[in-house]
Chain A
Amino acid sequence: MPEQIEQEGEEPEEGVQLDMISAGRMDEMTSMEKIHFILDGVRDGKVVILESGLSPDEESKLIEVTMSEISPDGFSGIEIESYPKEKPATGILDRLLGADESKMTVIGPANQIETLHKDSELISAVVSAR
Chain B
Amino acid sequence: MGIIAEIRTSISETVNSIFADQGTARIGIYGPPNAGKTTLANRIARDWTDEAMGAESQIPHETRRAHRKEDVTIERNGNSVTLDIVDTPGVTTKVDYQEFVDFGMEKDDAVERSREATEGVAEAMHWLKEDIDGVIYVLDSSLDPFTQVNTMLTGIIESRDLPILIIANKVDLDDASPGRIEQAFPQHETVPLSGQEGDNVDELYERIAEKFG
Q: Is B12 a contact partner of A90 (Cβ separation < 8 A)?
A: yes
B88 contacts partner chain A, Cβ-Cβ < 8 Å: no
- Chain B residues within 8 Å of chain A by Cβ, number: 40
Contact with B along A75-93 (1 / 0, CB 8 A): 0111111111100111111
B 1-16 contacts with A by CB, 8 A: 4, 7-9, 11-12, 15
Per DSSP, are chain A's interface residues mostly helix, strand or loop, or mixed? Answer: mixed
**22 A–B contacts, CB within 8 A, in A order:** A56-B156, A63-B122, A67-B95, A72-B111, A76-B94, A77-B96, A81-B148, A84-B151, A88-B155, A88-B158, A90-B8, A90-B158, A90-B161, A91-B11, A91-B15, A92-B8, A92-B12, A110-B93, A118-B146, A118-B147, A118-B148, A120-B146
Contacts of A56 in B (CB 8 A): 152, 155-156, 158-160
A111 interfacial contact with B, CB 8 Å: yes
C-alpha spacing A119/B147, complex, angstroms: 9
Known interface pairs A59-B156, A64-B125, A90-B187; 15 further A-B residue pairs with C-beta atoms within 8 A, sorted by A's residue number:
A56-B156, A56-B160, A59-B152, A67-B118, A67-B119, A70-B118, A72-B97, A78-B93, A79-B94, A80-B148, A81-B148, A85-B155, A91-B15, A91-B161, A92-B12
Residues of A within 8 A of B (CB): 55-57, 59-60, 62-64, 66-68, 70, 72, 76-85, 88-95, 101, 110-111, 115, 118-120
Selected from A57, A59, A78, A90, the residue in CB contact (under 8 A) with B94 is: A78
| In contact, B92 and A89 (Cβ under 8 angstroms) | no
A110-B118 Cα distance, complex, nearest whole Å: 14
Interchain residue pairs A-B with the least CB separation, the first 10: A77-B94, A110-B94, A56-B159, A91-B12, A67-B118, A93-B8, A76-B96, A88-B158, A56-B156, A67-B122
Contacts of B7 in A (CB 8 A): 93
The reply to whether A91 and B9 form a contact with Cβ atoms under 8 Å apart is yes
B121 interfacial contact with A, CB 8 Å: yes
> Given the complex of chains A and B, what is the CA–CA distance between A84 and B183 in angstroms?
12
> Are B4 and A59 touching (Cβ within 8 A)?
no
Closest beta carbon of chain B to A107's beta carbon, Å: 9
Q: How far is the CB of B32 from chain A (nearest CB, A)?
A: 12
* Docked pose: A115 CA to B148 CA in angstroms: 10
Across-interface contacts of A120 in B (CB, < 8 A): 146
